[in-house]
Every structure is written in C-alpha cells, then in structure tokens.
Amino acid sequence: MRNRWIKIIIVITALLFVNIAGQYIFHRFDFTADKRFTLNDKTKKLLENAEKPITITVFLDGTLPAAFKRLQLSVKDLLTDYKAYSKAGFNVVYVDPLAGLNPADQDTVINNLYLQGIEATNLSVKTESGLTQKLVFPMAMIESDGRQMPVKLLQNLDAGGSYEDNINRSIENLEYTFTSGIKKVMSGNNPRIGFTESNGEPSDLQLYDAMHTLANSYEVGRVDLNTIDQSGLDKLKLIIIIKPQTAFSEAEKYKINYFVMNGGRVLWSIDQVSAELDSLRGKSQMVLNRNLNLDDMLFMYGARINYNIIADKNSAEIPVSTGVAGGQPQLQLVPWIYYPILLPDTAASLVKNLDGVKGEFPSTVDTIGSRNVNKTYILTTSNFNKVFNTPKLFSLQMAAEQTEPKSFQNPLQSGGVLLEGNFPSVFAGRPLPAGISKPYSHISSSRPAKMVVIGDGDVFINQVIAKDNSPLPLGFDRYTQRIYGNKALLLNIADYFTDDDNLIVLRNKDVKIRLLDKAKVKIDKTKWQIVNIVLPLLLLILFAIFQHYHRKYKYAK
C-alpha cells in the first residue's frame, strides 16, 4: 500500500514539474517527414530580435470550402509558433470581413479593404449539387510600429492547376510570406527600385502593375540613364531594364557598370529580336535582330542572349480570325508556339513553387565562363521545343501549320539565368566614354552583386485594354483568362535582390500532399457511413453483454 502511494506521488510531482517547465520552455516535437511544423532558423532569429509588438490580422476566416479550411488551419499552426518564438508582443486576430453584413454594406467593406491592399477572391467551388460562388479574403495585414503591409496567402488559382495543388503551394510559401512581410514592416526601410526609361522602354501604363505591385514594399520610380548621376545611382538597390528599343550609349553602360561594381542588382529583360504579334495582323513580318549595344557588357558579366526565337509545344493561345459572320469577325483561340510557357527550374530557390511564366518570342540565354560568378538557370523550356535563328519571316498563318512532332523533341533550352558574385568591370583599362567627365570608381572587380538575365522583354509588361486604356494584372492573359507566374517571378527577384538575409530559402519547404481518392470516396461513401454509425453501436452492445455476464459470473460464485 505504501509503495502504491509513493508511485502516485511521483507521477503527480512529475506532471506538475512538466507543466511548470512548459510555462518557461517552449519546444515543438515535429515527427512529420517533411518537417512542416518546424520554423527556419532565419524566422526564429527575426522573431527573437523583434523589439516592437507585431499584430497580424488574418482575413481568411468564417465558413470556408474544405481546401481553404486546410490553408486556414496551416496559417493558425504557423502563427502559433511565431507567437511562441517572438520576444516582443505578438498578437494574431482572425476576422471574417463580411460576416453579418447586408449586400450594400459588403460592397463598402470590400472597397475599403481594397484601398488597404486587401483583395477578395471569388471562388467557384464544386460541390455535389453543382458550382457555388464564395467570396473569400485569402490575405493578412501585418502591422508594427505604425507601419503595415498586406500579404497574399493564396497562390494563383487560374494558372491551370487544381485547387489542391494551389493550396499546397500556398501552404509551402506561408513561412516565406509572413517572415519576409514581418521583416519589411519591422525595418521600415524600403529599398529603391528604378525602371529605366531612356532607351525606348515601355510606358508607365505598360509597366503599371509591375511598378504598382512593387510600390507596396519598395520605393519605385523611373530612371533616365542619360541624366542620373553618381549620387543618384548610389541611392538605388535594384535597376530593372525592360525591353529597350534603342542602343545604349557608352555613357549609359558606364553608369550601369558602376552600379554593378558598387554591389548593385540588375534585372535584364531584353528582346534581342524585333518580333511583335500586333505587327503580324493582316501581314507578314520579317523578324530582324536588334542592336542594343549590350552584348559585350553581358558577355563580360557571364551571359549571352542569343539572336533566335524559342518555339515550344507548351505554349499560350492567341485569338485568330476564322472568318466573318453577320458582319462580325469570328475569333478562335489557337496555340501559338512562339508564346512558350517557360518553366521554373525547381532546383533554384529563386523560382521554387512558381507557376509557368508566359513568354512572347523569347530568345535562349547561355552562360559564359566568368571567374568568381556563379550561374543558375531559372527558366527553361519543355522537352518539346525548337529554336529558330533570325532573321525569319513570320505570319499568323503559321498558327494553322502542322508541326512535325519529332523536330520538337530537343533538350531543354534556357530562357533566363541568375548570376551572382564578383563581376569584372567592363570599363577597366578603358578611357572614360563621352559624357562622363570624371571616373566614378577605379575598381576592376565588383563587390558581391547579383543580376538576372531573361531573353524576353515582354515578361514583365502587363496587357492593356485598348478601349479605355486600363491595365490588366501582370501575368493575366485576357484571351484565355489564365494567370501565369510573371508577377510572382518579379516579386521573387525583387525580394531576393533587396534582401541580404536571403529569406528566399524559406521557399524550399516541401509539404507532401496526401489527399483522399475522390472517386473511391464517392463509391465507398455509403459503406463507410454505415460502418461509422453501426460499428460503435455494436461495440457498445457487445461491451454491455460482456459486462453483464462478467458481473453475473463474478458474483454468482
């Protein structure tokens, strides 16, 4: 009897000790194979160094479809860990913005949230009774020290994948989404990004969504390489060069080279050929090579954009007139192999979990041997591609041509590369170009710098509705109503280039999707419903019978 009481006291003492220790020591045991509940050390360090309270308002709440319920639970699990590691105050609020509101008030709330950067998503949810419409807000607002930033929790739903695939990619990106957002809000220092405009680059309207989206986290503006001086270049963190039309002067190249030597970041999105779909309407076009006077510069840095055009069986569609009926042209969507869907290389963290990127007459990009520069391919074609050298004659009639399948079975071609390291100076040992009165620097090798070279100038240009000159979202194709990964690629590059902590590695998390077989569930649904209802009752009856006879046998003695 005494030993029994000693054991009870020991168990109670151990339980009390564990509960008291749990108030001061936090540890989560993650036994999942993909470590989905383990925070990255970069996230832990950021939270431990937080000095100001952080508030996160999650708008993904209320009655949700099953797939989005899984996203909501993943958000709750993740932010619970954030709160445990945060040394400052960490408050999480879950709200359903439209709960209990009439339609008129709902419109007001939706518009007010939109002005804050919180956008609603209208879902077509498939149920057994058909399709139902559901308006949800898969977004959150991060606030700290008077600053706030909206973040998107959901990947694109119209990029060709299933709901489950998009939800799974969204869950994989949650830690990166929240950690990068918290860091930007905490730092309060928005890096400057400049879009060049001195060489016939696209207008503000064509770059509207790219600039508007980046402006949520950065200071964004246009840069004239003819007039900007050394002090202006020193204030920039990233220069974006998109689809220039005219040749760069040596003075302009000198300024770009100085920016790189100073550790700057450059995004090159270049058209080496003059192919334009609008020029093919009603006529043929001879596609010629452009002279942008950049080949020597890119060659020195370790990349070469070739004078060719990629065609790929994995491509976007374009509208082609098939005749006239009732005085109106009849349009039909047909695959256009010269608008390939460039695929993110999954080995590169910069583009991990991205959807396909829509290209328009892209060229291949090769890497050149350059010491102290690391090269990583980030965008490639499918295995069913073909490369055409220019000059070449193009016409819309080519969309109806039957292509020989065997001629498209070729090795993958690269459409974009990431370069990182210490770049050699293009102007080392050369006299100052005309227009530069005194040298900006004398170094022959750069500080650690980064650049992305993409052989397509249209990747970051949004479509514009000609009727009212309204810009469409970057990556959205108004003809097919699909959303491609162009905007996500731009945001990834901007984050990677402006974040010295390299938080982009948080995208490396892989969450294995383990879903039920829907067809099997539908077939066996009735059987398992009966099993779940009847089996517990049978077990209860059997236990009662056993208990009855056991007591009768025990006390009958």
Same domain as 248, residue 105:
no
Measure the CA angle with vertex 306, ends 409 and 405; round to 5°. 15
Measure the CA–CA gap between 314 and 338, rounded to whole angstroms: 10
Looking at residue 392, its pLDDT comes to 87
Looking at residue 514, its pLDDT comes to 55
- Domain end (from 186, 211, 242): 186
Of 28-32, 54-58, 109-113, 261-265, the least confident: 28-32
Same domain as 233, residue 123:
no
Looking at residue 36, its pLDDT comes to 60
Looking at residue 175, its pLDDT comes to 87
Residues whose CB is less than 8 angstroms from the CB of residue 250 and which lie 6 or more positions away in sequence, other chains included: 433, 434, 435
121-138: average pLDDT: 70
CB contact burial 258-281 (16+ within 10 A = b; e otherwise): bbbbbebbbbbbbbbbbbebeebe
In contact, 178 and 82? CB cutoff 8 Å: yes
Same domain as 215, residue 110:
no
343-368: average pLDDT: 89
Q: At residue 503, does pLDDT exceed 50?
A: yes
In a domain, 253, yes or no: yes
Give the residue, 38 or 412, on which the prediction is more confident.
412
In a domain, 553, yes or no: no
Q: How many independent structural domains does the chain possess?
A: 2
Same domain as 202, residue 154:
no
Same domain as 182, residue 194:
no
Residues whose CB is less than 8 angstroms from the CB of residue 422 and which lie 6 or more positions away in sequence, other chains included: 372, 373, 445, 446, 447, 448, 449
pLDDT band at 395 (very low <50, low <70, confident <90, very high): confident
pLDDT in tens, 512-522: 555 555 667 67
81-90: average pLDDT: 86
In a domain, 537, yes or no: no
pLDDT in tens, 139-198: 899 998 888 888 888 866 544 455 667 777 788 888 888 888 888 888 777 889 999 999
Write out the DSSP string of 235-302. Answer: T-SEEEEE---SPPPHHHHHHHHHHHHTT-EEEEE---B---GGGGTTS-EEE-B---S-HHHHHHHT
Highest mean pLDDT among 40-54, 150-164, 262-276: 262-276
Looking at residue 557, its pLDDT comes to 58
245-255: average pLDDT: 96
Same domain as 174, residue 45:
yes
Highest mean pLDDT among 85-89, 147-151, 189-193, 355-359: 355-359
In contact, 218 and 172? CB cutoff 8 Å: no
Same domain as 352, residue 471:
yes
pLDDT in tens, 539-549: 888 888 888 78
- Domain end (from 186, 201, 231): 186
Q: What is the three-class DSSP state of 322?
A: strand
Same domain as 100, residue 249:
no
Same domain as 395, residue 298:
yes
Looking at residue 305, its pLDDT comes to 96
User: Which residue type occupies 112?
Assistant: N
What the block records as the tokens of 172 is 């994989």
In contact, 179 and 81? CB cutoff 8 Å: no
User: Which residue type occupies 111?
Assistant: N
In a domain, 373, yes or no: yes
Mean pLDDT, the chain, as a whole number? 85
- Domain end (from 143, 168, 186): 186
Nearest to 170 by CA among 43, 39, 69, 56: 69
Looking at residue 513, its pLDDT comes to 55
Q: At residue 64, does pLDDT exceed 50?
A: yes
Same domain as 224, residue 326:
yes
Looking at residue 158, its pLDDT comes to 45
Percent of residues, the chain, with pLDDT higher than 70 = 88
Residue ranges making up the domain that contains 357: 190-508
Measure the CA–CA gap between 487 and 461, rounded to whole angstroms: 10
Measure the CA–CA gap between 41 and 509, rounded to whole angstroms: 13
In a domain, 39, yes or no: yes
Q: At residue 360, does pLDDT exceed 90?
A: yes
Measure the CA angle with vertex 72, ends 66 and 77; round to 5°. 130
pLDDT band at 552 (very low <50, low <70, confident <90, very high): confident
Cα distance from N-terminal residue to C-terminal residue, the chain: 27
pLDDT band at 236 (very low <50, low <70, confident <90, very high): very high
In a domain, 20, yes or no: no
pLDDT band at 535 (very low <50, low <70, confident <90, very high): confident
In a domain, 197, yes or no: yes
Q: How many CB atoms lie within 10 A of CB 423?
A: 26
Bond before 202 cis per omega within 30 degrees: no
Domain CATH code at residue 342: 3.40.50
Looking at residue 540, its pLDDT comes to 87
Same domain as 116, residue 195:
no
pLDDT in tens, 439-469: 998 899 999 999 999 999 999 999 998 888 8
User: Which residue type occupies 12?
Assistant: I
Looking at residue 223, its pLDDT comes to 96
Residues whose CB is less than 8 angstroms from the CB of residue 57 and which lie 6 or more positions away in sequence, other chains included: 93, 94, 95, 140, 141, 143
Residues whose CB is less than 8 angstroms from the CB of residue 90 and which lie 6 or more positions away in sequence, other chains included: 47, 50, 53, 54, 56, 82, 83
In a domain, 328, yes or no: yes
Give the residue, 494 or 28, on which the prediction is more confident.
494
DSSP-H helix ranges across 23-85: 41-48, 66-85
Radius of gyration for the alpha carbons in the chain, expressed in angstroms and rounded: 29
pLDDT band at 329 (very low <50, low <70, confident <90, very high): low
Measure the CA angle with vertex 499, ends 498 and 505; round to 5°. 130
Same domain as 308, residue 263:
yes
Looking at residue 422, its pLDDT comes to 95
Of 98-107, 225-234, 304-313, 395-404, the least confident: 395-404
